[in-house]
Structure 1
Amino acid sequence: MNLSLFADDDYAPLGPAPLAPGATASVLLRGFALPYLDEMLPALDAIVLAAPLRHMATPGGLRMSVAMSNCGALGWVTDARGYRYAGLDPVSGQPWPPMPPVFLRLAQEVALAAGYPGFTPDACLVNRYAPGARMALHQDRDECDFTAPIVSVSLGLPATFLFGGAQRADKAARIALLHGDVVAWGGADRLRFHGVAPLKEGEHALLGAQRINLTFRKAA
């Protein structure tokens, strides 16, 4: 496969690098997802066809700017009842689409490269960022097992990932994420606040005017 067809800056996958200063249990893997894309993109299309992206509402009634769906045994949802994981898609009443084998393989190989062997995610959040969409600083606290890492895959338009500290007010590092980049964090960094700055206007050669983020978690 010609990786340059999929990369923003024509680079091949690189080894793990520190995600941010002082983040000892977090890594950035540039271009790690690129070799998987031939399998991933058709699988992603099938997921979105079965469980369409939608703008969920926070418990306070605010519409999220990021459109979301899920695959795997569990899916993350939010509504007036709160944030939680559920086995059924609340829109269709059906189970979420199963996690494609290529998704699981990628997540496990990323976790292994990041120093987290044995990672078996049971949830994959599918987030679609259109230009202007953002994700406020937050912690991933809805999972039952904080010993498992978070694995996050970036596809499409470049984004600025914000990786903060243990408190929301802590200064957040700003990390440019390109098409095919993957980040993973766990251990002492597992509950760091993180988010995504508003997505800038653009047009990706493969995915158009959007960024797709796949976030793998061990929820149960």
Structure 2
Amino acid sequence: MDTELFPRERAEPAPGAVHMPDWLDTNQQRTLLDACRTWALPPAGLRTVRTPGGGTMTARQVCLGWHWYPYAYARTVVDGDGAPVKPFPAWLGELGRRAVTAALGPQAQPPEPYDIALINFYDGDARMGMHRDADEKADAPVVSFSLGDSCVFRFGNPETRARPYTDVELRSGDLFVFGGPSRFAYHGVPRVLPGSAPPWLGLTGRLNITLRVSGLRADAT
């Protein structure tokens, strides 16, 4: 929306979880979208994720730095074309560190650099069930950037997929960071709002770029 009666403001839906609206400016959003389009190309490109039970995720995914598959990490796309995972760029890690400082303060900076990006693409019918980001060996804050269509982001608690949770509308350019007592909180995307992306971005659908610290050895497989 170009104008709103009440401007969106920084919010903390749970301890250690911070939503910062419009944190990425227009140029940063365009730069990040261009990068995502390059990363999505094969080899090791955008893929459909299949769960061990035989189901499929409706959001498609590409990884940088380490390849995530349910429920582990590898250096190659073991559940896809087998190609080496694309490298994690230093500039993206620096953006993540700036995001942590903005949301949680410099004291929340992890001792290790960000080295994983999970990039999920949602079309209008895609969604993500309640889950925890618990496959890493580090508890550094998770950094999440949104591009394109808005979504309902459901942020819960570390104990259960059920209530209590808070529904937050994430729009293009928004930042969401969760660490500390909320690092392992359940969260998901029950709904995308088709057609809500800013026209100037040129994106149909939603991209979510999530940064994590792996805590894994560089020579691990």
Q: Same fold (TM over 0.5)?
A: yes
Alpha-carbon offset, residue 217 of structure 1? 0.6
Aligned equivalent of 2:211: 216
Distance of aligned partners of 1:145 and 1:129 in 2 relative to their CA distance in 1, 3 Å threshold = same
Aligned equivalent of 1:42: 34
Counterpart code for 1:189: S
Alpha-carbon offset, residue 203 of structure 1? 5.6
The answer as to 2:174 corresponding to 1:185 is no
Counterpart code for 2:81: S
Q: Secondary structure at the match of 2:101?
A: helix
Alpha-carbon offset, residue 198 of structure 1? 2.1
Alpha-carbon offset, residue 158 of structure 1? 0.4
- Looking at structure 2, the residues matched to 120 and 136 of structure 1 have their Cα atoms a distance apart, in angstroms, of 28
Q: CA RMSD in A?
A: 2.2
Counterpart code for 2:142: I
Contact map agreement 1:36 1:102 (CA 8 A) in 2? no
- Looking at structure 1, the residues matched to 202 and 47 of structure 2 have their Cα atoms a distance apart, in angstroms, of 18
Q: Secondary structure at the match of 1:52?
A: coil
The answer as to 2:152 corresponding to 1:160 is yes
Aligned equivalent of 1:85: 73
Aligned equivalent of 2:132: 139
Alpha-carbon offset, residue 42 of structure 1? 2.5
Distance of aligned partners of 1:71 and 1:10 in 2 relative to their CA distance in 1, 3 Å threshold = farther
The answer as to 2:15 corresponding to 1:24 is yes
Q: Secondary structure at the match of 1:92?
A: coil
Aligned equivalent of 1:5: none
Greater mean deviation of Cα atoms: 166-175 or 149-158:
166-175
Distance of aligned partners of 1:99 and 1:114 in 2 relative to their CA distance in 1, 3 Å threshold = same
- Looking at structure 1, the residues matched to 142 and 209 of structure 2 have their Cα atoms a distance apart, in angstroms, of 10
Alpha-carbon offset, residue 89 of structure 1? 1.7
Contact map agreement 2:155 2:187 (CA 8 A) in 1? yes
Contact map agreement 2:150 2:196 (CA 8 A) in 1? no
- Looking at structure 1, the residues matched to 192 and 169 of structure 2 have their Cα atoms a distance apart, in angstroms, of 11
Aligned equivalent of 1:102: 91
> TM-score w.r.t. structure 2 length?
0.84
Q: Secondary structure at the match of 1:103?
A: helix
> TM-score w.r.t. structure 1 length?
0.84
Aligned equivalent of 1:149: 141
